[in-house]
């Protein structure tokens, strides 16, 4: 395997496995909650809704917190039983 192939493989594999925008990242997830970071001014509601729906639950936003002086925000969502 050439050096170029070795260096390019992680980039190609990472690009193929991504199911959401590059500016969104799941930090932690469980059947009852999900934490996501995004670039500033983006809200990851769709990611949380899809995650909670996998467990038969509804996503409820708990808000976002700006991370430092940068452009990232961390969002928290609870997955609750639909009523």
pLDDT tens for residues 25-74? 899 999 999 999 998 888 899 999 999 999 999 999 999 999 988 889 99
Q: Please check whether residue 66 lies inside any domain of the structure.
A: yes
76 Cβ neighbours under 8 A, 6+ residues apart: 33, 34, 35, 61, 62, 63, 64
**Is 6 among the domain residues?**
no
- What are the residues facing 75 on neighbouring strands? 36, 64
pLDDT of residue 2: 53
Residue range of the domain that includes 28: 20-80
Give the DSSP per-residue string, 7-29. HHHHHHHHHHH--S-TTEEEEEE
CA dist., res. 33 & res. 51, Å (int)? 9
11 falls within a domain? no
Query: How many domains does the chain divide into?
Result: 1
Asked whether residue 44 is domain-assigned, the answer is: yes
């Amino acid at each position: 395997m050439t050096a170029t192939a070795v260096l390019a493989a992680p980039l190609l594999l990472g690009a193929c496995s991504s199911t959401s925008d590059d500016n969104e990242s799941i930090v932690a997830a469980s059947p009852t909650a999900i934490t996501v970071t995004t670039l500033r001014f983006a809200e990851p509601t769709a990611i949380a809704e899809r995650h909670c729906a996998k467990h038969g639950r509804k996503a409820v936003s708990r808000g976002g917190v700006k991370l430092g002086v940068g452009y990232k925000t961390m969002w928290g969502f609870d997955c609750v039983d639909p009523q």
